[in-house]
């Protein structure tokens, strides 16, 4: 397994950030695999796979670059520049474009586990990668970015609250399969047999993306490390969320039941609006009813936003609904 040695000060100073480029690269991986984790991803693939495949058909060199860079165990590092948390997509992708050609070729040899195919022994690999990522951003990510950003912010709020409630060990164990806190200041970052890395004293970033079944690590020299993980599945997309049990929907109404089911993790009113598509007034009314019924409670703040989460009574109701649904199935 691959793991990082992390000092207590480094972990305490770590932070969650968003990255348009990480979201775009996750989308590229999803387009390449063409395997959806839920119906929402399937609809997204159906909408954007034709243009992506047409783009590669017209550019055989880039079509070869993609599977070579994604590899089987290791991704070519020049495609996964480490986020900094304060850059636009254009600023991030420019760092891919500027990667020296010799560096890009060296990274590809690692991801391939052997020599380069002759068509990839060239000096424009960074430019080709940046152009493809820009195509994916413009066609398949940017139209959804405003909403996805709010969903990712909701995930960060939930993870931050989890750290506050249960400490970093619990939060890290729940990030993604293959990631867990091993004790002894060791963080397992994947299941591959790779040499450990000492990252104490560096900046450590956690970066959520909405596509499921993806995740990777990256670093910038020895001063900045990032762990990219799929955001909470319940937040990933309209069709990908946990279904509302029919009995709970009958009891509370579909919209209010949806709010209750989403509040298994702390969320603010604005995040609920972003994820459910309901209006601000509607979400506010649902929260007031659920608060009055003792099914949700205020659990803190994120900036100026109040966070809500299910109470023990709300958990019982949600679990009862799930159990009823399962017995019918």
* Nearest alpha-carbon partner for 24 in 121, 144, 115: 144
Q: Using CA atoms, how far apart are residues 287 and 323, in angstroms rounded to an integer?
A: 24
CB 167 within 8 A of CB 103: no
Closest C-alpha to 241, from 275, 267, 266: 275
Write down which residue in 232, 247, 280 finishes a domain. 232
Specify the pLDDT at position 283: 94
User: Alpha-carbon distance 248 to 227, whole Å?
Assistant: 37
Query: What residue numbers bound the domain in which 249 lies?
Result: 239-327
The tokens for 85 are 């948390």
Domain co-membership, 45 together with 121? yes
Q: How far is CA 88 from CA 48, 138, 145, 263, 292, in A?
A: 22, 13, 12, 30, 42
* 218 strand-pairing partners: 226
**Can you give the pLDDT at residue 233?**
61
pLDDT tens digits, 205-230: 999 999 988 899 999 988 999 999 99
CATH number assigned to the domain comprising residue 315:
1.10.10.10
pLDDT of 176 reads: 78
Q: Is the domain of 253 the same as that of 322?
A: yes
Number of structural domains (the chain) is 3
**pLDDT of res. 238:** 43
Whether the pLDDT of residue 241 is over 80: the answer is no
β-bridge pairing 305-310 and 267-268: antiparallel
Query: Confidence band (pLDDT; 50, 70, 90) for 242?
Result: low
Q: What's the CA angle centered on 255, arms 254 and 260, to 5 degrees? A: 95
Q: Quick one: which of 239, 241, 237, 261 has its CA closest to 249?
A: 261
* pLDDT confidence of residue 239: 36
Asked whether residue 26 falls in the same domain as residue 141, the answer is: yes
Tell whether the model's pLDDT for residue 240 goes beyond 60. Answer: no
pLDDT at residue 311 is higher than 60: yes
pLDDT at position 234 is 53
Q: Are residues 189 and 85 in the same domain?
A: no
Does pLDDT of 191 surpass 70?
yes
* Listed range (45-49, 67-71, 245-249) with the worst mean pLDDT: 245-249
Q: Is the pLDDT of residue 232 over 90?
A: no
* E-state strands within the chain: 2-5, 15-16, 180-183, 186-190, 197-198, 203-209, 216-220, 224-230, 267-268, 296-302, 305-310
Same domain as 191, residue 265? no
pLDDT of 250 over the 90 cut: no
Whether 158 has a pLDDT exceeding 80, the answer reads no
Cβ(105)–Cβ(124) below 8 Å: no
| In a shared domain, residues 227 and 311 | no
Q: Is the pLDDT of residue 34 over 90?
A: yes
More confident call, 142 vs 192: 142
Query: Which one of 52-66, 227-241, 267-281 scores highest in mean pLDDT?
Result: 52-66
Same domain, 52 and 136: yes
Q: Are both 94 and 176 inside the same structural domain?
A: no
Among 206, 210, 268, which Cα is nearest to 234's?
210
Note the pTM of the prediction, 2 decimals.
0.79
- pLDDT per residue over 111-133, tens digit each? 999 999 999 999 999 999 999 99
Lowest mean pLDDT among 46-55, 91-100, 128-137, 254-263: 254-263
**Structure-token pair, residue 169:** 């060990």
Average pLDDT, the chain: 88
User: Within 34-84, where are the H helices?
Assistant: 39-57, 60-70
Same structural domain for residues 180 and 68? Answer: no
């Amino acid at each position: 397994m691959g793991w990082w040695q992390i000092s207590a000060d480094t972990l305490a100073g770590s932070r969650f950030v968003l990255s348009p480029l990480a979201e775009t690269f996750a989308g590229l991986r999803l387009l390449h695999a063409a395997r959806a984790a839920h119906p929402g991803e399937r609809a997204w693939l159906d909408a954007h796979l034709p243009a992506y495949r047409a783009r590669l058909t017209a550019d055989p060199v880039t079509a070869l670059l993609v599977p070579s860079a994604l590899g089987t165990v290791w991704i070519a590092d020049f495609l996964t520049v480490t986020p900094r948390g304060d850059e636009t997509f254009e600023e991030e992708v420019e760092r891919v474009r500027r990667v020296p050609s010799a560096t890009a070729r060296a990274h590809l040899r690692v991801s391939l586990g052997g020599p380069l195919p002759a068509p990839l022994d060239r000096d424009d690999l960074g430019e080709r990668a940046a152009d493809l990522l820009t195509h994916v951003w413009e066609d398949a990510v940017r139209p959804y970015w405003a909403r996805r950003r709010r969903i990712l912010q909701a995930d960060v709020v939930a993870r931050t609250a989890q750290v506050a409630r249960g400490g970093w060990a619990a939060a890290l164990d729940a990030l993604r399969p293959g990631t867990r806190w091993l004790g002894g200041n060791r963080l397992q970052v994947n299941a591959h047999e790779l040499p450990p890395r000492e990252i104490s004293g560096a900046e450590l970033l956690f970066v959520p993306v909405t596509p499921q079944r993806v995740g990777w690590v990256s670093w910038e020299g020895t001063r900045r490390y990032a762990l990219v993980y799929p955001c909470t599945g319940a937040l990933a997309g309209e069709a990908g969320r946990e279904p509302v049990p029919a009995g709970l929907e009958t009891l509370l109404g579909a919209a209010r039941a949806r709010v209750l089911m989403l509040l298994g993790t702390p969320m603010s009113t604005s995040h609920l609006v972003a994820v459910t598509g309901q209006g601000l007034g509607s979400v506010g009314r649902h929260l007031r009813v659920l608060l009055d019924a003792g099914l949700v409670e205020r659990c803190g703040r994120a900036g100026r936003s109040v966070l809500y989460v299910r109470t023990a009574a709300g958990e019982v109701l949600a679990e009862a609904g799930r159990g009823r649904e399962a017995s019918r199935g």
